[in-house]
Chains A and B, each alone.
Chain A
Amino acid sequence: MANIFPRWTNFLPIKIIVMVITIVPLLIVGATYYFTPKYTRVGYMPTQPVSYSHALHVNQLGMDCRYCHTGVEVSSHSNVPTTQTCMNCHTAIKKDSSKLAALRESWETGRPMNWVKIHKAPDYVYFNHAAHVNRGVGCASCHGQINRMEVVWHDQPQSMGWCLECHRAPHQQIRPKEEIYNLDWKAPSREAQLTMGTELVKQWNINPPQTCAACHR
């Protein structure tokens, strides 16, 4: 009786096993790298309607974050400035600059600026700025050193796991209240951060929630 299976099938099971062993880890590694916010979000740097430079305004001119992002201490949103805020200065400074044409048009027509959103929490996440900046989390912890950015990019993954890292161990990120809006501040050493962080967590009774309803409702 002739063989049902041809001879080459003898090696088929081994081939399959070898393929599975190589492909599956590749898929896993690929997915964990390419499908996570670390890859999909970090580095996102869209072109804005006006090429506003944080580096110029914050670093060179020394403006405080809160001059424009006025609501950050009291509201869930850290608002982007109204056209009026920009025009407070730009009616006098660089008032004819071609780079500011879009801004002037907005001011004249009343049509708002369309800034491209970079940091976007999903609809079911209710992040609150006020809860963080009033409790020792600095701007730079989540947004990176915006004051060094000519064009703003997405600096941190801002995934749920990333949020929880800090919520589980806040002492690693907490900074003194004077340094919240100082984007250049860094603890002198890792040990110093941990000592100071532990002290501040105790002093301010910081107990970040780790249950769902803190952010999802």
Chain B
Amino acid sequence: MKRVIQHPTAPSSGRTYWRSTGELLDTPEFREQLEREFPQGIAELEAGVSRRDFVKLLTASMALAGVGLTGCRRPEAHLVPFTKSPEWMIPGRHLHYSTAMPRREGALPLHATSFEGRPTKVEGNPFHTDSAGKTDIFAQASILDLYDPDRARRYLASGKPMEQTAFLAALDSAVQSWKDGSSVAVLEDGLDSPTRARLRAEVLKKFPKISWASHEPLAPGRNGTAAEIAFGEGARLVPQFGKASVVVAVDHDFLSAHESGIKAIRDFVGGRRVRKAGDQMNRLYAIEHRYTVTGGMADHRLRLPASQMGSFLAALALELSKLGVGSGLDDLAAASGQTTELAGETLEWITALAADLAAAKGSALVTVSQRQSVQCQLLAIGINHALGAMGQTLKVRQMPSTGVDTLKSLVTKISAGQIKTLVILGGNPAYTAPSDYEFAAQLASVPSVIYLGDSENETAACAHLFAPKSHYLEAWGDARSCDGSYLTAQPLILPLWSSLSDIQLLARILGIKTDDEPTLVKQSFAAITGLSVGSTDFEAAWKKCLHDGFLAGSAASPEGRAPSTGAVRAWLASNKVPAPRVAADSIEVVFSGDYSVEDGRYNNNGWLQESPDPITKLTWENAALMSATTAKKIGVKNAVVSGILTVDKIRIAVNGQSVEAPALIVPGHADYTITLPLGYGRTKTGRVGKASGFNAYPLRSSSSDYVAIGAQVSLSSSGYKLAITQEHSAMEGRAIVREASLEVFNQDPEFVNKVGIDSHAPPNVSFYKNPPLTGVHQWGMSLDLTTCTGCTACVVACQAENNIPIVGKDQVAKGREMHWIRIDRYYSGTEENAEMLVQPMTCVQCENAPCETVCPVNATVHNEEGLNVMTYNRCIGTRYCANNCPFKVRRFNYFNYSDRPTDKLYWGPLAAKDTAETTKMQRNPNVTVRMRGVMEKCTFCVQRLEAAKIDQKAKNAFTDKTEIPTDSVMTACQQACPTDAIVFGNLNDENSRVVHLKQAPHDYAVLGYLNLKPRVTYLGRIRNINAEMPGAENLVMSTMNEMHHGGAHEPHAEGVKEAGEDAIHETYKTQSNH
């Protein structure tokens, strides 16, 4: 008899995990959606097409195919070798080059992969600690920007195309008239480099009166301002997350890619790897206004409006002072003038937090977002000092002064008519500048604007002379990493569109010919190393630096220093700003960077646009985020209509400006606060970014660049559809994710086996006799839910490695996204104070794979190494496999996503194939580009596995040593993962990390009772709950009692069987009778 598994209808783990409000409330729409694989109307034929019509069409197309077949000829293909053999290059093999990606918070050392001169992927530089081989979502997606057909590719004079030579001549003649530079200004982006700094100094020497300003919309650097007050000129704070046992993140999303470097994330997560009972684990408290990646990782989280962080810190200082921590904290709190009128429960929370911090004195760290006010920064410095953090968890680094001014002073000069020529190096200030500067209008008043930009964007429209800016992979350069190391950035390819880099432009201003590009960097290197260009020592050092990607020993050495508490107190006392009131009649608006497009610079990147936001799971646009309470007050409704999330639009007015935005209700958001992610609604962007989202920059003024109070919000329209992936592929409460507190784990390390139906089901027995898996290598993967932040870097890394297409907003809304990994985000608890956890879900490579048994053409089969392989050229697209997959990880090409434009998919062959030649250059030559009608899924990067095995065979030619060295091959997701949550390896190799992880007590298989024997297993999530915190007893499984049956499986009393249990027992009875 067929084994029928009745999945439990109610969760049996004692806790409810939900993915959306619809699921929490169990609305009829949600239930209906669950029943269907795809939203309504998507899997059915169009109305009006009968079966008969369909067969007619089928016959006609067969006949046409016959016509086509007669035209078959053997096409003549050519082999085109190089004329001169390039050094190092072996056709068919890729090369790695060290380079660096310039970033706001410090450049990221990278290794770029190049196939026959064509960069296709970037990975972290494993030899430098700032990356340690890891990357993030922006680094992974940056390769697509290189090939973006909408990148700036021509020189413009007031909008008319011109030649590069004409541009350079125009620039030269402009520079001739600069004299001492008193009417000239330069505005640069925040991607500074040693060579840029050197050339800047030389330009300032030549034209001493030039005004030089810098603008970075999301990096106001208020932490730097505060550090200078407390520690003196040039001081910058360097948190040491690796040394902290208790971290308090005050509105600081330090675990997200664009807030701090990868090293900070790695250091922090390094303190959370629990492998056996008794292992130490750090504790994270997050205080934030909306859910962030950091909040999701937090052991305890407090939702608080962003403008109340000063009050929070003042209250914390007072509490610590009461506990006798440090001295003068009460004075500091008083001096700050922050009211401490926080809600009673918040104060209780702070009291318990203060006690925990006091106990962790010397290894505690309070960190604040650089966008929070200087008051907050100073209060945090005071608290850290009192907690003995200086020199332990917090150090100070001395930075040289750049002498660069702010955008504000530049705008003042432009308004006064002092500036006749403005040179803009990178960035997009016309889009990102605070709205009260009216920067676009200011630009119009400058007689000559010269702009070097990535794309023909909003700023380019205001420029008189425009030059395309080189991508970092096509220009020589250098940079400083987060830890201050000197990095060299070498180009992987000649500029695709004869563009210029920022240092080439500055060199031209100095009269240096631009074909001298590497020399510009060499001179900086010489200045730093003290060697003279051309000497043998120099050449050797330079070659080594280029090869390694960094100059060894050049990292800054931060030190512990005591802040000047007097100066801090004095500054606070003279800059008193009481915390504003946030209430229903005084709504707060917070401007945040977006997880996908940052400040808008990645707006035209399809991979980033389509990668779901780690929290909201929203793709292709932004939305105004708010709590259910706020939504109720405004009258906003979110509903799932025909399987697609449909929301109301609101009009938000603040600072004399207003924008219209779709309103999305999210759990765990502070009340009467609205979060507006920036970076969308660009007016001048490419085909990908066009018409995506709304622009929140107009609401943002210079005085309220992070928080604005007193917004007027009103409903404007309804029926707006959002493409959200959160409810796709839902799995009802089946103990898919498992978590426990550290205390429970220490008492019962194998807690994962005692939740859900797995605690009931007898040991799995199989009737099938699978063919033996004979491969030398047996691949497996372990995913650690404790360290996964949900940052989505793996999703984009997989996309880059495996030629995964983007499908567009319309298709995502229909549940047809193609990502091979998805990050499931679950909430638990109440909607107001929801807890969050994430689970990456990819093909788990079942040994008893349900997909394989239903494929009518054997397109998906098992190989001898335990992989569930997919043969695209054999697939006929029945989709039976996707239907039979319990994990919903198979993806189907409904259209020719790789070739057709996403807005004309339904045109079929009538729409011209529009994939740009440059975009094709990005594709991995070792992975098939799939076409319409083909199923695909994660393959464990089989191309990498095969390459590793073959390399091993070639290395040990004519021997029997075919086993690859331990852990010498990585999947793309594993290689990218900044927290090392993904570990992959050979299960036959007992030294492999994956084998050790699978032996951990909290290793479990999702849906283990189905006996699928998945090769991907998970380590249950462990949270370090502080039992003294108010409400701790309601968090996760913090007590043994709450766990299912308190441990070992015991027989139930009559009538208290759990749902689904009957079915399981019945099924097994039937089987044993069989």
Contacts and interface: CB of A to CB of B under 8 A. Distances in A.
B899 to A, nearest CB: 14
Contacts of A212: 861, 863, 869, 871, 874
Nearest to B863: A211
A117 B872 contact: no
Given A74-B90, A112-B83, A115-B80, 16 more contacts: A73-B957, A74-B954, A79-B91, A85-B85, A107-B83, A111-B83, A112-B80, A112-B81, A113-B80, A113-B83, A130-B954, A135-B953, A136-B958, A204-B959, A209-B863, A213-B946
B84 A83 contact: yes
B81 A177 contact: no
A172 interface: no
26 contacts: A70-B90, A73-B954, A79-B90, A79-B92, A82-B81, A84-B85, A85-B85, A107-B83, A112-B83, A114-B78, A120-B77, A122-B873, A123-B928, A124-B873, A126-B926, A126-B946, A130-B954, A134-B957, A212-B863, A212-B869, A213-B871, A213-B942, A216-B871, A216-B872, A217-B927, A217-B939
A125 B946 CA distance: 13
Nearest to A88: B85
Given A82-B83, A110-B83, A217-B926, A203 B960 contact: yes
Contacts of A130: 950-951, 953-954
B867 interface: yes
A207 B958 CA distance: 13
Interface string A108-143: 001111111100101110101011001110000000
Interface residues of A, number: 50
A30 interface: no
A74 B946 CA distance: 14
Contacts of A73: 954, 957
A211 B81 CA distance: 32
A80 interface: yes
A71 B74 CA distance: 27
B758 to A, nearest CB: 31
A217 B83 contact: no
Contact of B928 (A82, A207, A217): A217
Nearest to B872: A124
Given A71-B90, A83-B81, A134-B957, A207 B774 contact: yes
A59 B468 CA distance: 56
A123 B861 CA distance: 21
B559 interface: no
Given A74-B93, A128-B950, A217-B946, A211 B78 contact: no
Nearest to A212: B871
A128 B317 CA distance: 66
A116 B77 CA distance: 6
A111 B862 CA distance: 46
Contacts of B951: 130
B864 interface: yes
Contacts of A123: 928
Contact of A75 (B77, B90, B928): B90
Interface in A67-115: 70-71, 73-77, 79-85, 106-107, 110-115
Given A74-B954, A207-B774, A82 B93 contact: no
Given A107-B83, A177-B957, A126 B91 contact: no
Nearest to B86: A82
Interface string A198-216: 0000011101010111101
Contacts of B958: 134-136, 177, 204
B864 A79 contact: no
Contacts of A185: none
Interface of A: 40, 44, 46, 70-71, 73-77, 79-85, 106-107, 110-117, 120, 122-124, 126, 128, 130-131, 134-136, 177, 203-205, 207, 209, 211-214, 216-217
Contacts of B950: 76, 128, 130-131
B91 A131 contact: no
Interface in B945-988: 946, 950-951, 953-954, 957-960, 962
B861 A214 contact: no
B943 A126 contact: yes
Nearest to A109: B83
Given A126-B946, A212-B861, A216-B928, A116 B93 contact: no
Q: Pick the 6 closest A-B CB pairs, nearest first.
A: A77-B92, A205-B960, A211-B863, A134-B957, A213-B869, A75-B92
Contacts of A211: 861-864, 869
B871 A117 contact: no
Contacts of A106: 83
A82 B92 contact: no
B949 to A, nearest CB: 8
Nearest to A134: B957
Contacts of B776: 207
Given A75-B92, A82-B81, A46 B874 contact: no
B76 interface: yes
Contact of A76 (B92, B864, B927, B959): B92
A205 B862 contact: no
A217 B942 contact: yes
A110 B864 CA distance: 47
Nearest to B75: A120
A92 B80 CA distance: 24
Given A71-B91, A79-B92, A84 B954 contact: no
* Most chain B CB inside 10 Å of its own CB: which residue of A74, A80, A106, A116: A74
B78 A75 contact: no
A134 B93 CA distance: 16
B78 A84 contact: no
A77 B960 CA distance: 24
B343 interface: no
B768 interface: no
Contact of A113 (B81, B90, B871, B939): B81
Contacts of B907: none
Contacts of B957: 73, 134-135, 177
B82 interface: yes
A186 B916 CA distance: 50
B79 interface: yes
Interface string B47-89: 0000000000000000000000000001011111111110000
